[in-house]
Amino acid sequence: MTFSSESFAPAMQNFAQVSQALMQGLTDILESQPQAAGISGPSLGLPDPICYVEWQNGFLEKHLQLWHSMLERKPDEPLLPVIDIDPADRRFASPEWRSSPVFDYIRYAYLLNSQCIRDLVELFPASDERTKDRARFLARQFIDALSPANFAATNPEFIRRALDTQGQCITDGITNLIGDFGKGRVSITDESAFEIGRNLAVTPGTVIFENELIQLIQYAPTTPEAAQRPLLIVPPCINKFYVLDLQPENSFVRYAVEQGNTVFLVSWRNPGDPLGHLTWHDYLEDGPIAAIDVVRDICQVDQVNVLGWCVGGTILTSALSVLAARGENKVASLTLLTTLLDYSEAGELGLFIDEQSIAEREAAMAHGGIMKGSELSGVFSMLRANDLVWNYVASNYLKGSKPKAFDLLYWNSDSTNLPGPFACWYLRNLYLENGLRVPGKLEMCGVKIDLGRVQVPNYILAAREDHIVPWKASYLGTQLLGGASRFVLGASGHIAGVINPASKNKRSFWLNAASSDNADDWLLGAEEHQGSWWDDWSRWLKQFGDGDRAAPSEPGNARFKPIEPAPGRYVKECA
């Protein structure tokens, strides 16, 4: 193939029109998005003309550099990089992208175009940061979808594989695509490799209580003695509890039991249409409030230790606020893992929520109905589209490969529904109006709540790279709760930052005993510790165990008798 500067001339003649069309297209997309509640006037303006011309000229200059690099390229030499390639970007890691001048050019041109689009978005003046974040998010979706790795004609790995397999990968890819059409989603793991209760959620235990919303599991002790006060775990209801009990080597539940705790866990039901009427208040009363009373009865204690993760932590803390308003002091300590209490910095999930979208959802299901698990799963996948969507589009459909078995991705695919009234109340009152942080603003279960009345010691874990619960937003919880806070910042993201087994001694976490009104100030004085936060949490929890006693020999008691072995049937219900 021969390249010359003349072959690039037509593209250069149309460059101004193309870049102007790109700017206009982005303007149309961004201005079509609903404005955030309470913001008047236009949310977006037009870029400064001088900055736009500078952007346009810079875009053109770098493409010319790339083109000349291709013309001057010698055999077996890579192109001169006009933009850095992230070594962690697996899309272009294969040597086929570098060995061909055509595909080497395609990947660099794509990365250059991607950066230029991101730079263009930054030129748009926005009336608020949320609008700018929405623009960045939409641009990222556009960029990720148009990667040359996603298309047969521009993916050299597909072409090589098609030749090597004499077209068999094309047949396999079509078969995979048809299979996923039947599922209604992209397969991201070998689902046949896992079964709940066989090789997932296998920590021994017994269901000792159930109502229409939860099953309560009591786990079998592994130590001769256990703390007087039991530990109740409340996982999120937007996905299933066994992320805390995947397999023995990475099970947080098993670890907590081995540390000498009598552990109970709430297993939320996967609601169908008959439960589509349930509200936020039902989730508090029939979830943690009911579970706390059962645990106190079984263990014959006045107070329990409680732990909540993500929205499970929000539900749990709300329930404790209700108990505080009722004058009931049933909890000795509170642990929150990657939990939002102040939604002023709600992360990328907040970009999906505005007055118009919530009003439409309320009109459809505020009085009954189901928010489908597939919808929730799709939203979470969009937050990491390259890893959870396009990576598998290329692998499954172009290369004809089957995804490998991975327990965490199996859990990620096991979606859950939410009752419409519950979801609408949660989205409006917490995400949109941020009412939980305001004392007395929200009424739950018939009482006005105030987080400041939750006056128990609390351990708050955030994850430094969390895109769902930004760590600085999690830190705001220390300013709202009434008890003494121990804030811990773990490495990695929303899941890996929590599921970090102590036995593997991976990653690190940051501690600072001094409190601060500002998250950045807290971090400046924090000290990094190698390994998992699990052991630090276990040491902290022991001081609220009220001493030890003989571990229970049987689950439940005369009032709450065994119903079935863990993990129970609720967690096995499909969306």
For residue 268, the domain's CATH number is: 3.40.50.1820
Could you give the CA distance from residue 92 to residue 148 in angstroms, rounded to a whole number? 9
Question: How many angstroms from the chain centroid is the CA of residue 440?
Answer: 30
Could you list the active site residues? 310
Could you give the CA distance from residue 453 to residue 167 in angstroms, rounded to a whole number? 66
Dump pLDDT digits (tens) for 61-73.
888 888 888 887 7
Asked if residue 193 belongs to a domain, the reply is no
Q: Is 366 exposed, middle or buried (0-12, 13-18, 19+ CB in 10 A)?
A: middle
Considering the domain architecture, whether residues 10 and 118 belong to the same structural domain is answered as: yes
Asked if residue 242 belongs to a domain, the reply is yes
Dihedral sign, Cα of residue 526, residue 530, residue 533, residue 539:
negative
Considering the domain architecture, whether residues 159 and 213 belong to the same structural domain is answered as: no
Dihedral sign, Cα of residue 235, residue 240, residue 243, residue 248:
positive
Please say which residue of 133, 164, 195 terminates a domain: 164
Mean pLDDT across 54-80: 80
- pLDDT computed for residue 20 by the predictor: 52
- pLDDT computed for residue 493 by the predictor: 92
- pLDDT computed for residue 4 by the predictor: 44
Banded model confidence at residue 35, pLDDT cuts 50, 70, 90: very low
| Cβ-contact 83, 117 below 8 angstroms | no
Considering the domain architecture, whether residues 9 and 91 belong to the same structural domain is answered as: yes
- pLDDT computed for residue 451 by the predictor: 97
Closest to 314 (Cα-Cα) out of 336, 347, 344? 336
- Threshold 0.95, pTM exceeds: no
Say which range, 35-44, 45-54, 77-86, 539-548, has the weakest mean pLDDT.
35-44
Could you give the CA distance from residue 241 to residue 266 in angstroms, rounded to a whole number? 8
Q: What is the DSSP letter of 367?
A: T
Considering the domain architecture, whether residues 297 and 227 belong to the same structural domain is answered as: yes
Could you give the CA distance from residue 204 to residue 198 in angstroms, rounded to a whole number? 11
Considering the domain architecture, whether residues 339 and 483 belong to the same structural domain is answered as: yes
Tokens 């926005």, located at residue: 126
| Cβ-contact 342, 473 below 8 angstroms | yes
Question: In the numeric block, which tokens belong to residue 385?
Answer: 């589209």
Closest to 203 (Cα-Cα) out of 573, 570, 569, 565? 565
Question: In the numeric block, which tokens belong to residue 308?
Answer: 């909540």
Mean pLDDT across 141-152: 92
Dump pLDDT digits (tens) for 156-210.
999 999 999 999 999 999 999 999 998 888 999 999 999 999 999 999 999 999 9
Show the beta-strand stretches assigned E in 64-213. 205-210
Number of domains present in the structure of the chain: 2
Asked if residue 177 belongs to a domain, the reply is no
30 has pLDDT over 80: no
Considering the domain architecture, whether residues 103 and 211 belong to the same structural domain is answered as: no
18 has pLDDT over 70: no
Residues in contact with 201: Cβ distance below 8 Å, sequence separation at least 6, in sequence order: 241, 242, 245, 246, 566, 567, 571
Dump pLDDT digits (tens) for 397-455.
999 999 999 999 999 999 899 999 999 999 999 999 999 999 999 999 999 999 999 99
Amino acid at 88: A
Say which range, 97-106, 338-347, 544-553, has the weakest mean pLDDT.
97-106
- pLDDT computed for residue 76 by the predictor: 67
Mean pLDDT across 230-242: 96
Banded model confidence at residue 26, pLDDT cuts 50, 70, 90: low
CA dihedral 546, 548, 554, 557 (to 10 degrees): -30
Banded model confidence at residue 131, pLDDT cuts 50, 70, 90: confident
Closest to 135 (Cα-Cα) out of 16, 17, 36? 36
Considering the domain architecture, whether residues 226 and 153 belong to the same structural domain is answered as: no
321 has pLDDT over 90: yes
27 has pLDDT over 90: no
Please say which residue of 137, 164, 191 terminates a domain: 164
36 has pLDDT over 60: no
Considering the domain architecture, whether residues 138 and 270 belong to the same structural domain is answered as: no
Q: Which range scores top for mean pLDDT: 52-56, 514-518, 536-540?
A: 536-540
Considering the domain architecture, whether residues 212 and 112 belong to the same structural domain is answered as: no
- pLDDT computed for residue 3 by the predictor: 41
| Cβ-contact 343, 434 below 8 angstroms | yes
Domain interval for residue 285: 205-349+446-572
Question: Kind and range of the H or E element at 179?
Answer: helix 168-183
Banded model confidence at residue 376, pLDDT cuts 50, 70, 90: confident
| Cβ-contact 35, 43 below 8 angstroms | yes
Please say which residue of 141, 164, 187 terminates a domain: 164
Please tell me which residue, 83 or 508, carries the higher pLDDT value: 508
Please tell me which residue, 272 or 376, carries the higher pLDDT value: 272
| Cβ-contact 538, 461 below 8 angstroms | no
3-class secondary-structure state, position 234? strand
Question: In the numeric block, which tokens belong to residue 104?
Answer: 């080497």
Asked if residue 14 belongs to a domain, the reply is yes
Banded model confidence at residue 132, pLDDT cuts 50, 70, 90: confident
Considering the domain architecture, whether residues 114 and 209 belong to the same structural domain is answered as: no
226 has pLDDT over 80: yes
Dump pLDDT digits (tens) for 430-444.
999 999 999 999 999
7 has pLDDT over 50: no
126 has pLDDT over 90: no
Tokens 């296998």, located at residue: 202
- pLDDT computed for residue 45 by the predictor: 67
378 has pLDDT over 90: no
Q: What is the DSSP letter of 432?
A: I
- pLDDT computed for residue 21 by the predictor: 52
Asked if residue 433 belongs to a domain, the reply is no
- pLDDT computed for residue 168 by the predictor: 96
Could you give the CA distance from residue 351 to residue 67 in angstroms, rounded to a whole number? 38
Rg (CA), the chain: 27
DSSP codes of every residue in 249-308: GG-HHHHHHHTT--EEEEEE----GGGTT--HHHHHIIIIIHHHHHHHHHHT-S-EEEEE
Q: Checking DSSP bridges between strand 225-227 and strand 231-234, what pairing results, if any?
A: unpaired
Banded model confidence at residue 6, pLDDT cuts 50, 70, 90: very low
Please tell me which residue, 294 or 123, carries the higher pLDDT value: 294
- pLDDT computed for residue 98 by the predictor: 84
DSSP codes of every residue in 375-417: HHHHHHHHHTHIIIIIHHIIIIIIS-PPPPP-HHHHHHHS---
Mean pLDDT of the chain: 89
Asked if residue 189 belongs to a domain, the reply is no
3-class secondary-structure state, position 363? helix
- pLDDT computed for residue 419 by the predictor: 96
Considering the domain architecture, whether residues 537 and 475 belong to the same structural domain is answered as: yes
Asked if residue 397 belongs to a domain, the reply is no
Asked if residue 404 belongs to a domain, the reply is no
Considering the domain architecture, whether residues 14 and 125 belong to the same structural domain is answered as: yes
Share above pLDDT 90 across residues of the chain, in percent, rounded to a whole number = 68
Tokens 């396009």, located at residue: 390
Banded model confidence at residue 554, pLDDT cuts 50, 70, 90: very high
